[in-house]
Amino acid sequence: MARGNFSWVTEFILLGLSDKRELQVLFFVIFLLVYTMVLLGNLLIIVTVRTDPKLSSPMYFLLCNLSFIDICYTSVTAPKMLVNLLFHRRSIVFGGCIAQLFFLHLVGSSEMFLLTVMAYDRYVAICKPLHYTAIMSRWACWLLVSCCWAGGFLHSITQTLLTVQLPFCGPNTINSYFCDVLPVIRLACTDAHLTQWLMASNSGLISLGCFLVLVTSYVLMLATLRGRLRRGHRKALSTCAAHVMVVTLFFAPCIFIYLRPPSTFPFDKYVCVSYTIFSPVMNPLIYTLRSNEVKESMWRLWKR
C-alpha cells in the first residue's frame, strides 16, 4: 500500500459472482455470448440506420444513439468481468476502479435520459402528429441527445468526486464483479453515511424520476389511442407495451439498488447483472426487430 491523495489502498479485490470454478466457466460462456450479441446486434443497428436514407426519422436517429450507448455501457463492465472469470484475476487498480465507476454512471444515466427522450418522441408522434416534424427537428434531436450526455456527465462527475475525496486505508474487498459507488464508499476509513445517502438518493431519484416520466408518457399515449384502435393504432399499442416492458427491466433493478437505505444484500450483484449485461441485449430486440422498416433495411444491407 502506498499513501497518496488520501488513499492508501492501491487496488481493490472483486469477488465476482461465484468462487466455484464450474460456475465461473458457465458464467464466462453465458456472458461472452451475451456480450457478443450486444456488440453485433447494436453495431448492426448503427450500420443499418447510417447507411439507409429511408431510416432518417428522429426515431431511428435516437435509436442509433441508444445502440451506441448500449455498446459503451456493457463494455464498461463485461470485458473486465470476462477476463477475471477466464484468468482467475480479481484485482483492479484504484485508478481503474474509479474510472469504471465514472464511466458506468456516465453512460448509464445518459441511457436513462435518452430512453426518456425516446418516449417523448413517441408521445409527440402519436399525440401530436401534425406538429411532429416541427417539434422533433434534426436540430432538436441533436440538442436533446447532447443534453442527455451533459446530464450524464454532471451526475457521474458528482458521484466520482464524492468518492475520490474519501480515504481508503483498510479493507479493499468488493462483493461484486465491478466497481460501483455504494460498494466502494463502504470501504472508506471514515464515517461516510451522509455521503452514502447523498449518492444513493442522487442515483435513485434519477432512476425513479426518469421511470415515472416514461410511464406517464406511455399512459398519455394509451389514453390518446383509446377508442381509435385501428390497425395502425393496434401496432402502436403493441409497441408501447413492449417498450414499457424493456424499460421496466432496466429501471426496476436500478431503483431497487439505489433508492433504498445504504445497505448490502448478498444478491445485489445478481440484480446488477440484469441492467449491466442483459438489458443492453434486449434493446435491439424490442426497439428494432419489431420494426418492419428496420428489418427490410437489414435485408437490403445483407443482400448488398
What is residue 288's DSSP assignment?
Answer: T
Q: Which three cell numbers stand for residue 299?
A: 435485408
49, 59, 304 from 301: Cα distances, Å:
10, 20, 5
Task: Determine the Cα–Cα distance for residues 256 and 57; give it in Å rounded to an integer.
Answer: 35
pLDDT confidence of 1, banded at 50, 70, 90? very low
pLDDT at 3: 45
**pLDDT tens digits, residue range 275-289?**
888 888 887 777 666
Q: What is the DSSP string of 34-60?
A: HHHHHHHHHHHHHHHHHH-TT--SHHH
The answer to whether residue 2 sits within a structural domain is: no
The answer to whether position 301 is within a domain reads no
What is the pLDDT, as a whole number, of residue 182?
83
3-state percent helix, strand, coil for the chain, nearest multiple of 5: 75, 5, 20
- Single pTM value for the model: 0.87
Spatial separation of the C-alpha atoms in residues 264 and 187, rounded to whole Å: 12
Terminal-residue alpha carbon distance, the chain: 57
User: Does residue 6 lie in a domain region?
Assistant: no
For residue 33, what pLDDT is reported?
94
Question: Strand, helix or coil at 290?
Answer: coil
Contacts of 174 (CB under 8 A, 6+ apart): 12, 13, 14, 15, 183, 184, 187
Q: Looking at the domain assignment, is residue 300 inside a domain?
A: no
What's residue 32's pLDDT?
94
pLDDT at 98 over 60: yes
Q: Identify the pLDDT of residue 49.
A: 85
Domains held by the chain: number: 1
Cell numbers standing for residue 66: 441508444
Q: What is the number of alpha carbons within 13 Å of residue 249 lying toward its C-beta?
A: 17
Q: Is 174 helix (H, G, I), strand (E, B) or coil?
A: strand
Per-residue pLDDT tens for 116-148? 998 888 888 888 888 888 888 889 999 999 999
C-alpha span between 202 and 275 (Å, rounded): 18
Q: Would you place residue 45 in the very low, low, confident or very high pLDDT band (cuts 50, 70, 90)?
A: confident
* 304 falls within a domain: no
Q: Is the pLDDT of residue 42 over 70?
A: yes
pLDDT of residue 239: 63
Nearest CA to 76 out of 91, 46, 98 is that of 98
- What pLDDT is attached to residue 114? 94
| Sheet containing strand 91-93, strands side by side | 91-93, 11-14, 173-174
Q: Give domain status of residue 1, yes or no.
A: no
Whether 70 maps to a domain, the answer reads yes
Give the domain extent around 261.
11-295
> Quick one: pLDDT band at residue 90, thresholds 50, 70, 90?
confident
The tens digit of pLDDT for each residue in 159-213 reads 898 888 888 887 788 888 899 888 888 888 877 677 777 777 788 888 888 999 9
Q: For the purposes of burial, counting CB atoms within 10 Å of the CB of 232, is it exposed (0-12), middle (13-18) or buried (19 or more)?
A: exposed
Identify the pLDDT of residue 205: 87
Is the confidence at residue 110, as pLDDT, over 90? yes
Query: Where are any strands of DSSP class E within the chain?
Result: 11-14, 91-93, 173-174
What tens digit of pLDDT does each residue of 211-263 get? 999 888 888 877 777 655 555 556 566 666 667 777 888 888 888 888 876 66
- What CATH number has the domain bearing residue 145? 1.20.1070.10
Residue 13 pairs with which residues in a beta bridge?
91, 173
Q: Is residue 105 part of a domain?
A: yes
